[in-house]
Amino acid sequence: MAGTASYENAAGTSGYEKAVVLSCSGSVLLRMSNFQAMTIENTVTLTILMPCLNEARTLSTCMAKARSYIECQSFCSEIVIADNGSSDGSSEIAESLGARVIQVPQRGYGHALRAGIEAARGKFVIMGDSDASYDFRSLEAFMEKLEAGYDLVIGNRFRGGIADGAMPALHRYFGNPLLTTIGRVLFKSPVNDFYCGLRGFRREAILRLGMTSAGMEFALEMIVKATINRLRITEVPTTLSPDGRDRSPHLRSWRDGWRSLRFYLLLSPDALFLYPGLVLTAVSGITSVALIFSDLHLGSVVFAQHTLIITAALTIIGFQSVFFWIFAKTLAIQKRLSFPDAVFEKIRRLFKLERCLLFAGTLIAMGVATAVYALLYWYNLSFGKIDSENLIKVVCAASFLLGVGFQLVFASFFIYLLDQQIDPPDASPR
CATH code: domain of residue 199: 3.90.550.10
Residue 428's pLDDT is 44
Whether residues 370 and 311 fall in one domain? yes
Rounded Cα–Cα distance for residues 341 and 274 (Å): 14
The answer on 248 and 304 residing in a single domain is no
The DSSP secondary structure of 23-83, one letter per residue, reads: EETTTEEEEEEHHHHTTGGGTEEEEEEEEESS-TTTHHHHHHHHHHHHTTSSSEEEEEEEE
From 244, 266, 288, the end of a domain falls on: 266
30 strand-pairing partners: 22
On whether the CB atoms of residues 292 and 308 are closer than 8 A, the answer is yes
Q: Is 54 left (phi over 0), alpha (psi -120 to 50) or beta?
A: left
Residue 425, in any domain of the structure: no
Nearest 5°: the CA angle 55, 61, 62 is 75
Q: Which DSSP state fits 149?
A: T
Q: Are 255 and 146 members of one domain? A: yes
Which of 266, 281, 301 is at the close of a domain? 266
* Same domain for 160 and 119: yes
- Beta strand extents in 57-171 (DSSP E only): 76-83, 100-103, 124-127, 152-156
Cβ neighbours, 10 Å, residue 159 = 14
**DSSP at 398:** H
Tell me whether residue 426 is in a domain. Answer: no
Question: How many C-beta neighbours within 10 Å does residue 319 have?
Answer: 20
Asked whether residue 410 is assigned to any structural domain, the reply reads yes
Confirm whether 273 is domain-assigned.
yes
| pLDDT recorded at residue 241 | 93
Q: Does residue 333 sit in the same domain as residue 374?
A: yes
pLDDT at residue 6, rounded to an integer? 42
Q: Same domain for 350 and 374?
A: yes
Single-letter residue type at 205: A
Does 172 lie in the same domain as 295?
no
Q: How many residues would you count in the chain?
A: 430
Q: How many domains does the chain have?
A: 2
Q: Which domain holds residue 360?
A: 269-419
Euclidean distance between CA atoms 269 and 108, whole angstroms: 26
Is the same domain home to 124 and 18?
Answer: yes
Q: How far apart are CA 190 and CA 230, in angstroms?
A: 11
Distance (Å) of CA 340 to CA 272, 321, 324: 17, 19, 16
In a domain, 191, yes or no: yes
Q: Domain for residue 427, yes or no?
A: no
**Whether residue 284 sits in one domain with residue 167:** no
The answer to whether residues 51 and 116 touch, using CB atoms and an 8 Å cutoff, is yes
Same domain, 85 and 195: yes
The enclosing H or E element of 157 equals helix 157-160
Compute, in degrees rounded to 10, the torsion defined by CA atoms 96, 97, 98, 102.
Answer: -70
* Contact predicate 22/38, CB 8 Å: no
Neighbouring-strand partners of residue 50 = 81
In a domain? residue 36: yes
For residues 12 and 141, membership in a common domain is answered with yes
Single out the residue in 219, 235, 266 at which a domain terminates: 266
- Shared domain for 256 and 294, answered yes or no, is no
pLDDT in tens, the chain (430 residues): 444 444 443 333 333 233 333 445 443 333 333 444 445 556 899 999 999 999 999 999 999 999 999 999 989 999 999 999 999 999 999 999 999 999 999 999 999 999 999 999 999 999 999 999 999 999 999 999 999 999 999 999 999 999 998 898 888 889 889 999 999 998 899 999 999 999 999 999 999 998 888 888 899 999 999 998 999 999 999 999 998 776 666 566 777 778 888 888 878 888 889 999 999 999 999 999 998 888 888 888 888 888 999 999 999 999 999 999 999 988 888 877 777 788 888 888 888 999 999 999 999 999 999 999 988 888 887 787 776 677 888 889 999 999 999 999 999 999 998 888 544 444 444 3
Look at residue 146 and tell me if it is in a domain. Answer: yes
